[in-house]
Structure 1
């Protein structure tokens, strides 16, 4: 059986260690700051995004990897006869998976599956790691694809935001909502459902107790969650007290095999800003 190559885009927010350990290839999405276009994770950093926003009051624009990008990435593996599984940012948020599928048609001599994660950030990363682990265990290509496509409906991603400035400037919420949230000290929870982001709930007060309450709420029915892995994912420069509040809730549950901390990349940073944090995991399948 041929080797299977696992590929993700930079929105997956996996740690560098995980990427190296599982030999995962990462294709950058694009970030536009003013009139300059950068590659996520290559020549732009979250701190550059913060600096741009603070100077201009303009949020960055993020855009999909294009068809030539995918052709260039797929080509050496396809020429070596290696089958490819790409798991990408939700089609409800980006056309990246569509571009990957168009590029895959250029390589008819190998199997290339381009899976819509219906998710973002480590909601994607959880699926990518599952695929990589199955490939390492020798699971067949078609079975990996089948299992990951099923799991896309069970990967849970959500984040609590300290402020709505970035969402407002990016056109994702009104000025009235943003100002009202700030005046009332409201911290919204943004969740991914059916491939798009929406407001799931809100918390009131300072960020640390709100983050702790958020995490505890997610774990109320913890027996429904897969214990294999959870991510605590947060934007760069998030207050360590906020990170510790969520991480300690996850660890003290004594349930997960591992709780991994990771930094959110340009997609979450561009839309949410500093002091944004999420607890992400996969729910159990029926019968597990």
Structure 2
């Protein structure tokens, strides 16, 4: 069905291309910086290029949020064309990007710009975009879509295992003390998104296999029947371990649909390589 809604998200959603194309979603990129070189996530550096550079560059990268003017430039052509805009963004507790979108809305002074805070990132954010796309295609209005997204957000969960803590501590998402303890004991931290959109350590596990099983166990404590559910599994260049996890999810949770994705440079900068996540 033809509708007048233009969907936006940011590159932290790691939105799979087939979803982007199916619902004509525009992605506003954050930036990743290696030394003095700045790249636009997913535009001037692909996830594959990012992980190759991460492995070879002695200096850890950093990220920059989207600024308000970049949002204005992205939104304005669609407003001029008469579209209503719905931007689904990265948690405001993890980046200033969502606040930049708020400022852009004020600068544009338009009631046709609508903002939804996913309180998540990566494929947790992407699942919100997917739901919005499906609802828009079904003919729902933006207020109706936001109402459904709020229900989804209340029931959502996101867990992920990191291979090492260096990147997430350096990025300020975990304390140095938590990072030091984890590194000394070679612990695989199991993190989760809180309802407030922050990241916390949920559990500390000695092996990757135990951490991955723990993610599945925790999913089953949240909901026992996934036969009509869409789940998402993401990884930061985790290779065969990720494929093993996908098989575990399909066998034990039996979701109706499982979306798989490689994490891009925005989230990958803070998670580091070898991480795996599960989102609903």
- TM-score computed with the length of structure 2 as normaliser: 0.89
The answer as to whether partners of 1:7 and 1:26 remain within 8 angstroms in 2 is yes
* Residue 185 (structure 2) aligns with: 184
- Rounded Cα–Cα distance in structure 1 between residues aligned with 2:50 and 2:250: 31
* Residue 89 (structure 1) aligns with: 90
- Rounded Cα–Cα distance in structure 1 between residues aligned with 2:52 and 2:147: 42
Shift of 1:180: 3.9
- Rounded Cα–Cα distance in structure 2 between residues aligned with 1:216 and 1:251: 13
Shift of 1:62: 1.2
The answer as to whether partners of 1:27 and 1:65 remain within 8 angstroms in 2 is yes
The answer as to whether partners of 2:191 and 2:200 remain within 8 angstroms in 1 is yes
- Rounded Cα–Cα distance in structure 2 between residues aligned with 1:172 and 1:151: 25
The partner residue of 2:197 within 195, 198, 204 is 195
* Residue 235 (structure 1) aligns with: 236
Partner secondary structure for residue 229 of structure 2: strand
Shift of 1:268: 2.2
The answer as to whether partners of 2:50 and 2:264 remain within 8 angstroms in 1 is no
The answer as to whether partners of 2:226 and 2:253 remain within 8 angstroms in 1 is no
Partner secondary structure for residue 202 of structure 1: strand
Matched, 1:31 2:49: no
Structure 2 unaligned regions, length at least 5 = none
Partner secondary structure for residue 59 of structure 2: coil
More off after superposition, 168-177 vs 8-17: 168-177
* Residue 65 (structure 1) aligns with: 66
Partner secondary structure for residue 74 of structure 2: helix
Matched, 1:264 2:266: no
* Residue 124 (structure 2) aligns with: 123
- Rounded Cα–Cα distance in structure 2 between residues aligned with 1:254 and 1:55: 37
The answer as to whether partners of 2:164 and 2:188 remain within 8 angstroms in 1 is yes
The answer as to whether partners of 1:78 and 1:110 remain within 8 angstroms in 2 is no
- Rounded Cα–Cα distance in structure 1 between residues aligned with 2:35 and 2:6: 35
- Rounded Cα–Cα distance in structure 2 between residues aligned with 1:20 and 1:180: 43
Q: CA RMSD, aligned part only? A: 2.4
- Rounded Cα–Cα distance in structure 1 between residues aligned with 2:149 and 2:222: 23
Distance 1:101 1:257, change over 3 A: same
The answer as to whether partners of 2:10 and 2:27 remain within 8 angstroms in 1 is yes
1:21-170 aligned at under 5 Å gives the runs: 21-50=22-51, 53-54=54-55, 57-108=58-109, 111-170=112-171
Matched, 1:277 2:239: no
Partner secondary structure for residue 250 of structure 2: helix
Shift of 1:73: 1.1
- TM-score computed with the length of structure 1 as normaliser: 0.87
* Residue 284 (structure 1) aligns with: none
- Rounded Cα–Cα distance in structure 2 between residues aligned with 1:56 and 1:245: 29
The answer as to whether partners of 1:59 and 1:271 remain within 8 angstroms in 2 is no
Distance 1:50 1:165, change over 3 A: farther
Distance 1:96 1:133, change over 3 A: same
- Rounded Cα–Cα distance in structure 1 between residues aligned with 2:86 and 2:212: 35
More off after superposition, 116-125 vs 216-225: 216-225
Distance 1:56 1:250, change over 3 A: closer
More off after superposition, 81-90 vs 222-231: 222-231
Shift of 1:71: 1.3
Shift of 1:145: 1.9
- Rounded Cα–Cα distance in structure 2 between residues aligned with 1:53 and 1:213: 28
More off after superposition, 169-178 vs 38-47: 169-178
The answer as to whether partners of 2:88 and 2:116 remain within 8 angstroms in 1 is yes
Matched length: 278
Shift of 1:95: 1.7
